[in-house]
Amino acid sequence: MNNSKQIAENPGELVDMFSRTISYLRLSLTDRCNLRCVYCMPEDDEHKLQLLQHEELLSFEELLRIVKLVVGMGMNKLRLTGGEPLVRRGVMDFIRSLADIEGLDEIRLTTNGVLLHEKAEGLYDAGIRKLNISLDTMKPERFKKITGSDLFDQVWQGIETAGRLGFDVKINVVAMKGVNDDEFVDFARLAVEKPYQVRFIEFMPVGDHSTWNEASYISSTDLKKRIGRLGKLEQLPGCRMDGPARVYSITADDGSKGKIGFISPISHHFCDTCNRLRLTSAGRLRACLLHDREADLKMLLRGGAGDDEIRALIRQTILDKPKGHTLAEDQLKCSGQMSRIGG
């Protein structure tokens, strides 16, 4: 009750029931993707995903309205996700429009890298400086097996192009025992040899038809032990801009250094510092990746709602934000579709 009154009287301060300030919106532009990663978009006939029709997506005009509202309420950071955000037609013009919004301090993009080589210069010109690129293997044949496409060389070309243009590049690796665990040290070496931060993400049970199983899960603690073979790991002071990652410096035996991040939603969850909301490609506002409660923002937008009604739904979603996920107790808690929620 008191928190509700506080937010109503101070619309620029988006604080939830657990004193977390919400400053960051993750925006899923589409549920479509040009890869079919085994843990995200299963393609067997029984579990084939039903993709949204174009008219079911929020239009760019609707998305701009939402972003302007949340920035006016106090959010200052935006991440564009998908699916693969770069496959959506008109996305570059949309990003340029976002860059004109006063008070939006940072726009980040998460991509699988397939279209990055051809889009990188345009993204840089539009004001994007920070990229998260998903890459679970550096072996072309394994890449084809994980993603369903023989596009490793194209993705790697995109990564190198981004590095050459001066982007801040983070490479996201979903850590899967028995799938890519023989490459963890190689990825850590990449962080030492290149100006990229490599971030290892614990495999999460997300989606009704997730391929997650206990045998494929490896904790960040075990990851650190394996990566420690390459050199000394030292945790760096926490930075709000690191998001959910715990970041370490790694010093190889020859003295060369790099940065490695660990995202540990299962073994060391970061719920107590979570500062984000997610808007799914279906137009639903979600306060937690691993909690299924959603608010239908699209229905309000297309029902003629005014700005005050939309702000009220955003505030209520923040107040309803759970203290934390319950994966430890219920590994099937999150039944949402990852490509639609936004990776």
Q: What is the DSSP string of 7-31?
A: HHH-TT--B-TTS-B--EEEEE--S
- Over the stretch 24-52, which tens digit does the pLDDT of each residue have? 999 999 999 999 888 776 655 445 668 89
Whole-structure pTM value = 0.89
Q: Using 50, 70 and 90 to split pLDDT, how confident is the model at 329? A: low
Return the pLDDT at 290: 78
* pLDDT 10s digits, 234-273: 999 876 555 688 999 999 988 999 999 999 888 777 788 8
Smallest Cα–Cα separation from 107: which of 88, 126, 90, 122? 126
DSSP β-bridge partners for residue 25: 78, 277
pLDDT tens-digit readout, 122-181? 999 999 999 999 999 999 999 999 999 999 999 999 999 999 999 999 999 999 999 999
Cα 270 from Cα 244, distance rounded (Å)? 6
Question: Is residue 71 within 8 Å of residue 310, measured between CB atoms?
Answer: no
| Residue-wise DSSP of 26-37 | EEE--S--S---
Contacts of 167 (CB under 8 A, 6+ apart): 120, 123, 124, 128, 129, 130, 131
Distance CA 136, CA 40 (A): 13
pLDDT at 38: 82
pLDDT for 9 equals: 44
Position 86 scores a pLDDT of: 98
What are the chain's domains? 2-341 (3.20.20.70)
